[in-house]
Amino acid sequence: MSFYDEITSVNIMDYSREVDAKSENEVERALAKARNDEQLDLGDFMALISPKAIPYISEMAMLAQKITRRRFGNGVSMYVPLYLTNLCTNNCKYCGFAVHNKFKRRVLNAEETRLECEAIKKMGYENILVVTGENERRGGMDYFREMLPIVKEYASYLSMEVQPLDTHEYKELKTLGLDAVMVYQETYDPACYKENHLSGKKQICVIEWKLLNA
Ligand code: SF4
């Protein structure tokens, strides 16, 4: 079963109702398990994000801090975002890059990218997150082929927030020096997705989603 089949078989509203119905006793039980270092399950998680858990937020924060310190120590991972372009053909309600917002759009050329990298280097960062909007024509694979090797010269760890690509393109990004790629799925609720992605390629995803479910 693919992830898509799995997620479309779930009714998010059922989970939402289950969360709302959690009792104070269930919150207490989940917290007791956390205090005793026992494994929490999905029901416990639901209790801890339920309205009944609101009075326990401080205690949850303290427990979370204790567990985080035990697992990761006091280490803090810092990275710098490098915006190569703010061009985007999509229109997501929650984003300043959305195509209908009127402001000056930029696509850094090789020289400008190098200047940014030099500035980042001076700040002492080697963990760089490259960010772009979605624009296949001016900010797609041809552009990445030119820019990523430049950024990689300055990065010991290079990651990227990038538009959805084909498998062979992700593979190619790796050969260009990329260590990790971030692709966000803002919501798995088709109605909410449609409401927040008003036009552009992401709106097409909504139509494809509908066809797949027809
Ligand atoms: S696709 Fe990304 S960059 Fe473009 S509008 Fe949506 S969130 Fe913003």
Ligand 1 pocket by Cβ (under 6 Å):
88, 90, 92, 95, 97-98, 133-134
Q: Is the pTM of this model over 0.75?
A: yes
Predicted confidence at residue 193, as pLDDT, reads: 87
At 163, list the tokens.
Answer: 């538009």
Say yes or no to pLDDT of 60 above 70: yes
Q: Quote the pLDDT of residue 212.
A: 56
Average pLDDT over residues 99-125: 96
pLDDT at 178: 96
Residue 6 has pLDDT above 60, yes or no: yes
**Which atom of ligand 1 is found nearest the CA of 88?**
4
Check residue 163 and report its DSSP letter: -
pLDDT (mean) for 28-49 = 95
Residue 149 and residue 177 in contact, taking contact as beta carbons nearer than 8 Å: yes
Q: What average pLDDT is seen over the chain?
A: 90
Higher pLDDT, 10 or 155: 155
Identify any residues that bridge with 181 across adjacent strands, giving them in sequence order: 160
197: three-class secondary structure by DSSP: strand
Q: Please compute the mean of the pLDDT values over residues 83-112 and round it to a whole number.
A: 94
Stronger pLDDT, 139 or 187, i.e. the higher one: 139
The CA 92 to ligand 1 mean position distance, Å, reads: 6
Q: Picking from 33-42, 136-145, 153-162, 205-214, which range would have the lowest pLDDT averaged per residue?
A: 205-214
Give nearest CA residue, ligand 1 atom 2: 133
Q: Which of 83, 92, 106, 160 to mutate to test the pocket of ligand 1 (most atoms within 8 A of CB)?
A: 92
Query: Mapping DSSP to helix (H, G, I), strand (E, B) and coil, where does residue 10 land?
Result: coil
Three-state DSSP state, 52 = helix
Average pLDDT over residues 33-53: 95
One CATH from 3.90.1300.10, 3.30.750.210, 3.90.550.10, 3.40.50.300 for 80-182: 3.30.750.210
Domain positions in the chain: 11-72, 80-182
Element (H, E) at 161: strand 157-161
Mean pLDDT calculated for residue range 111-129? 97
